[in-house]
Amino acid sequence: MSPEPRKAPGSVRELFVFFSLLALQGFGGIIAFIEKGLVQNKKWMTREEFLEDWAVARTMPGPPAINMGIIIGSRHFGARGAFAAVLGVFLFPSFLVLGLAVLYSSYGHLPEVSNALRGMGAVAAGLLIATGIKLLTALPSNVMGLRVCAVLVVVTFVMIGLLHMRVAYALFGLGGLACVYAYRCLGRHRAADPASSRKDRGQS
């Protein structure tokens, strides 16, 4: 779709450095940084592709942002790539956070510290919301159609954001229903246009 040629990480080392740098910048969660880094800066994938991988990463056990690293890493360099991505995400931040734990026990009670953390938390919240809104722009190509997608987005938000229901209900209840519906839509598409059955997302 995009006029620019698809890029890819050149080496396992590049992958490791990429995820290390992201993880070190990513205060309050790193998914916003991963999305911007992969889609906008490196252009290793389109927003639509990112969204498809994110759907898998979010439904598997483990932290979704790290699952994303495993998916991207294994796609390009197999097990070595997956390991490089996970190591990149963890290596430096884990030393940093342990160092902070030591500092925190001495300075954590200062009002400036907790107020600064409040401010950083508010920005981190904004980053998450903005990343979600950016991903919404990939929905028009969804097979279920924009109207059904909009209903799913709103209902999920009400369930989790407003009613604070368990994530599993939305993920496997509502998400499960959506998958069944998407399956029917895809089947209908294929019946209407047999040629499209050969296409998959690799051919853009």
87-146 residues in contact with other proteins (CB under 8 A) are 89-90, 92-94, 96-98, 100-101, 104, 108, 111-136, 138-139, 142-144
Closest CB to other proteins among residues 38, 89? 89
Residue-wise DSSP of 148-189: HHHHHHHHHHIIIIIS---HHIIIIIIHHHHHHHHHHHHHHH
> CA-CA distance, 72 to 87, in Å (whole number)?
13
Least distance in Å: CB of 50 to other proteins? 10
Q: For the CB of residue 73, give the shortest distance to other proteins in the complex, in Å.
A: 9
- The residue length of the chain stands at 204
CB of 129 to other proteins, least distance (A): 4
Compute the least distance from the CB of residue 11 to other proteins, in Å.
Answer: 20
d(CA 38, CA 135): 13
| Rounded Cα distance, 140 and 191, in Å | 21
Which helix (H) or strand (E) covers residue 204, if one does?
Answer: none
Least gap, CB of 52 to other proteins (angstroms): 4
Q: Give the separation between CA 53 and CA 40, rounded to whole angstroms.
A: 16
Phi, psi for 108 (deg, rounded to 5):
-60, -25
Site residue total, other proteins (CB under 8 A): 109
Residue 46 near residue 39 (C-beta atoms within 8 A):
yes
- Show contacts with other proteins in window 23-62 (CB under 8 A): 23-33, 36, 51-52, 54-62
Binding mask 4-23 for other proteins (x = CB under 8 A): -------------------x
- Smaller CB separation from other proteins, 14 or 142: 142
Which tokens hold the place of 22?
């992201």
Which is closer to other proteins, CB of 14 or CB of 174?
174
Contact status: 181 vs other proteins (CB under 8 A): yes
